[in-house]
Structure 1
């Protein structure tokens, strides 16, 4: 049985990640890249509290697009601002702390 380093509870009972999701302020916006392609950027994710690679994998699957996690932010191919907000809210992030620009 593994023990959480932060709270000292067994990993099955650990709530550190849920608490971190409720507190974080996320910014979701789009930028134009080469050849006029649009990328959706999600930033403000604390990599120490949340597994950013797993979150990227889930977002890519739910938005049906490609993407990557770079420098503490998630990049998704295409304009998925509204869908990303819905998915993040379903995953436990507070919809009040998700800022769409």
Structure 2
């Protein structure tokens, strides 16, 4: 049984930092999915998920895709988010790099 502590402060020591949980790499089926996510204010984000690459390579790939699309974006939770509806550009670029790509949702 795992012991859970809710202690956050100890007199004399100060604040106790709780260890943060590391994000878990999701299982992939070999297919990269690109979906369109609508945010508030009529903004859209193209989300690339299912990439089975190392975390460092994912950051590099995200940088290359942002450059190719000419927009901003981020890499978080093993997904790449690109601002705007850039699904077709992303699909073409990822297929050129050898990935199997499907457009999902949106």
State if a TM-score over 0.5 links the two structures. Answer: yes
- Could you tell me which runs of 5 or more consecutive residues in structure 1 were left unpaired when the two chains were aligned: 1-22
- Matched with 1:62 is 68
- 1:100 corresponds to 2:106: no
8 A Cα contact 1:46 1:72, kept in partner: no
The CA distance in 2 between the partners of 1:99 and 1:36, in whole Å, is: 24
The CA distance in 2 between the partners of 1:50 and 1:24, in whole Å, is: 19
Q: Pairwise CA RMSD of aligned residues?
A: 1.8
Indicate how the Cα distance of structure 1 residues 54 and 82 shifts in structure 2: closer, same or farther if over 3 A, else same: same
TM-score of the superposition, structure 2-length normalised? 0.66
Indicate how the Cα distance of structure 1 residues 92 and 49 shifts in structure 2: closer, same or farther if over 3 A, else same: farther
- Could you tell me which runs of 5 or more consecutive residues in structure 2 were left unpaired when the two chains were aligned: 1-28
Larger proportion of helix: 1
- Matched with 1:77 is 83
Bigger radius of gyration among the two = 2
The CA distance in 1 between the partners of 2:98 and 2:102, in whole Å, is: 15
Count, aligned residues: 76
Larger proportion of strand: 2
